[in-house]
């Protein structure tokens, strides 16, 4: 009977098994390194995309800020234009009222009522002078009531007798006053409300 020697085969098997184990470990290491490299690459890509999005957002924010500044400048210019237009309109209205009053005083004012002083204090109009009677002053003032749309029509505020040394004709001193419906030279700001015209009485 022939004796078989299996020792060389056992040694070869052990060497093959060891070699296989080494190959498995090497492949695992290579796979792990590849996975790590892929993860790093993906993270870098995501970071680059986020940085690009951040730059885009900054550019959009800068554009919005510029538009907002331009809008504010436009609003300021429109406000100045509206104020200038309002002031011009108010001054024109005052000029028209003064012209109408001057014309009425020239054509309607009676000779028996003398005007010594005519004073303007904002929308208030004060008249002082001498007259022959309180009734003459009253009638003279009534002749002005239809000249303008007064806030306070011309009215006699005070009247007193003068010394007889001034003569028998104009023996009274009078003070009269009236108020116009004059708009303000500067419009009053309204809080988020449209302005409404003031109704004249």
Give the tokens for residue 177: 């006053």
Residue whose tokens read 């056992």: 10
Domain boundaries, the chain: 10-97, 109-180
Single pTM value for the model: 0.51
Q: Which of 22, 179, 6, 182 is nearest to 93 (CA)?
A: 182
Question: Is pLDDT above 90 for 105?
Answer: no
Give the tokens for residue 147: 């000249």
Question: Is pLDDT above 80 for 190?
Answer: no
CA distance 19 to 13: 10
Range among 14-18, 34-38, 105-109 with highest mean pLDDT value: 105-109
Task: Give the per-residue pLDDT at 193.
Answer: 42
Phi and psi at 180, nearest 5°, equal -90, 160
- Which CATH architecture fits 109-180? 2-Layer Sandwich (3.30)
Task: Give the per-residue pLDDT at 200.
Answer: 38
Encode pLDDT of 32-68 as tens digits: 666 556 666 766 777 787 788 888 888 888 888 888 8
């Amino acid at each position: 009977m022939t004796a078989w020697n299996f020792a060389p085969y056992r040694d070869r098997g052990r060497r093959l098994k060891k070699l296989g184990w080494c190959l498995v470990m090497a492949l695992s290491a290579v796979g792990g390194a590849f996975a790590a490299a892929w993860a790093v690459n993906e993270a870098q890509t995501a970071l680059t995309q986020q940085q690009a999005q951040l730059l885009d957002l900054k550019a959009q924010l800068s554009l919005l800020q510029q538009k907002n500044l331009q809008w504010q400048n436009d609003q300021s210019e429109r406000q100045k234009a509206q104020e200038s237009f309002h002031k011009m309109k108010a001054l024109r209205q005052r000029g028209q009222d003064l012209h109408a009053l001057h014309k009425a005083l020239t054509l309607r004012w009676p000779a028996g009522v003398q005007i010594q002083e005519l004073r303007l204090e904002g929308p208030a109009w004060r008249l002082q002078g001498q007259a022959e009677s309180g009734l003459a002053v009253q009638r003279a003032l009534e002749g002005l009531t239809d000249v303008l749309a007064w806030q306070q029509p011309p009215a006699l505020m005070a009247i007193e007798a003068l010394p007889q040394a001034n003569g028998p004709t104009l023996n009274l001193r009078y003070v009269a006053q009236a108020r116009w419906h004059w708009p303000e030279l500067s419009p009053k700001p309204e809080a988020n409300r449209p302005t409404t015209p003031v109704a004249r009485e």
